[in-house]
Structure 1
Amino acid sequence: MKTLQAVRGMNDVLPADSALWQYFERTVADLLTGYGYQQVRMPIVEPTELFKRSIGEVTDIVEKEMYTFADRNGDSLTLRPEGTAGCVRAMLEHGLLGGGISQKVWYAGPMFRHERPQKGRYRQFNQIGVETFNISGPDIDAELILLSWRLWKQLGLQDAVTLELNSLGSSDDRARYRDELVAYLRERFDQLDEDSQRRLESNPLRVLDSKNPTTQALLADAPRLADFLNQDARLHFEGLLALLDAAGVPYVINPRLVRGLDYYGLTVFEWVTDKLGAQGTVCAGGRYDGLVEQLGGKPATAVGFAMGIERLLLLIQTLDRVPAELARQVDVYFVTLGDAAAVASFRLAEQLRDALPGVRLVVHCGGGSFKSQFKKADKSGALFALILGEDEAAAEQIGIKPLRSDAQQENIAWHELPARLQQLF
């Protein structure tokens, strides 16, 4: 019988890797809690119409990348390709934006896009998203950037990432700019790459995002979006830059940064790295003040971002920033020999877990000689082995043997064990 394998582009996270995932997720969760953000959990399946109305029907995501299917009732459903639309839907459905109440939320989980799998880009990928609602000033834009900057410092990545910023202005600003950009590019249509020619008809601002060198050269003399911004948009962007300057966050203004989703306006930003080859964006977001109304709610300002977990973990590993303690999954390994010792080990182990909840303690199961058990203890990475044989059990004594140093084994009474281990850790 043929062995089944995971779907292409959808990967398993194996036990050896899960400690890094947990470390990253715990670090992000603690950081966001410290800034006053609360977690929201949304389903991974949403009505297809949600993404057509939010992302835009002529985007690559909706046209080519979504996993869409009809359920047994004939309804069109889609595995979520991103989290913002579902978060807005949840806020509206449960009445959390009424009366102009501000909300600061975050979420984590898998997203799905049918893209060509490559290192750092998968068909099932995990994101952590942060969204805020009903806060209109540039101060909340700055807070999102500041908390992400603090995360990079906590992870040791601050020297490997660069913040790129731009303002897309209002929808009217973009409409006026779009007309000028299309007119400019139509005169040079034959020089555009194939993707840009297609985008010129459907989503011309995405041409600015082209990675084709010839197209980028053409854009050097193209109209600049910054020249079309209204006064309010200019003041918002200048206010954001002033706050970042005051906080000492370095940035680069990238006039060609547009993001790939239709709902963005005003501030857009990306954290990028040159350490991962082509997959350089590790965190991105911006303002989407019109999306709540677009999805049926009353007008509400909103800004957020999402970070790709796999890509950030790859960056942590590439830069050798994995904390050393993650390599060790066990602190203490309990070795026993004989029925009485095995019974006593479970009782002692539970007492130790009560007294020292932070210590990772494994009790050997499955029998075997002392020699075979010590091999497993050593392989586990444990710092100490607790040794309990028949004689020790009868005398209510236990041995503590260091596994990572040349220190001698010591033997103590059972009742002394919690205090002694507390000293050792």
Structure 2
Amino acid sequence: LIALGSESLTSRAQIRLHLLKGVVFGKQQRFEEARAEFQKVVQIDPQLKVGYLNLALAHLKLKDQYAAADAFKKALEIDPKDRAIRVRLAGIYEDLGRPYDALDLYQGILEEGGEEPFLQEVEERINLLFGTISFSYQVTYDSNINLTQNAFSDLKSDIISQYQRFFLFGEGWRSGFRLTPSMTMFHRSQVSILGTQLGLFVDRRGGYQSGVSLGYNLRVGFFEGSLSDRSQELSVDGFGPAGVSSTFTGSLRLRYADSVVNDIYDGIQPSVSASLATDGILGGRVTLSGAVYANLNTKEVGNSPDQKGDDYAYVGASPTLSFDRPLVQGVNLNLSYGYSLQSYLHPDSELKKRRVNQGHSINAGVTVGLERGLQVYLRGTWLTNRSNLSGIAPELEQVLTSEKTNSLGDYTKWLGTFGIRLLF
């Protein structure tokens, strides 16, 4: 007993010494040395909240927001009711562009109740994070708008607005809706597309960063003022922590697309996807995701019996690797690579062979958060599609209104996008 007591006293003395040295180093702007001292504190006593708090603050001074988030989460495990920690962690998630993680923390605070001024401040944070009205304008140069080897370039402008409302009801429950009208204008082709999407959802939180979401989406599109396409989708999403620094997400979706332009593009489109996001890799977040999907057509193409076939039915898979990292305060780097493989279920009605397509996409961009509610972004994208069979170039109207025509034949294209987004 004497030995244990002596060891405990020695440990406490060491903790005080490392804490004091860390604070002194911090006041001297020697944050690397301060962080090292606070790391020694949590190694000696992994259950000391103040050690993780100081470690998180040192990480923030060194611009390592992911490491700071991990330290704050460790502190929350020790004291889940500490509101100050939750607010600081939610602020980090806001800066990293992860609004729903921040919402989980803010909702938990509101459900607990408390002093009215503090709760009003939290509600204001939610309103800023999920502005009731948002407006985006972006300009994109498309090097190959017609998706063929004989490229036809165009410049397009997108205006996207959104009205959304969140409703918090009962412990762990929230619901809401989103109404998203949009307009796309192609300058060289001198055509315009209007679209409207309505989304309804109900979320059930099972704890911090875990839960299930049910959703329904209805989309209607117009080409040059006439109805061109519509779709309906049901979705089930689940998410939960996979260790201290990782989050797992799974999704099941069932979509029905109805093209007014040409009914061969109609189809039932089920998909299953999953992703694993891990923080703290190279100072950022790495997300590995994959999806298995299908397009099950309801219409045949061809006029004669020997030409009839279901050319547009396929199954596919698409793994994706993405990396997001804060460069400086308010500026985030976004990189991703995606691969797709599509195997068509029936022989081509003219070539009498099954089509197999492979696609690659590389994306790079930066997102800059300016004043509250204002974002500017710049993105570049390179896309290529390779098929074992030749493909007839689709008409422009079909390219612009149908998602399925991007799987025809061989093509390569790149996109350059500049955009601005406002939250009100």
Say which one has the larger Rg: 1
Q: Same fold (TM over 0.5)?
A: no
Q: TM-score, normalised by structure 1?
A: 0.19
How does the TM-score come out when normalised to structure 2?
A: 0.20
**Larger fraction in helix:** 1
Which structure's relative contact order is higher, taking Cα pairs within 8 Å and 6+ residues apart? Answer: 1
Bigger strand fraction = 2
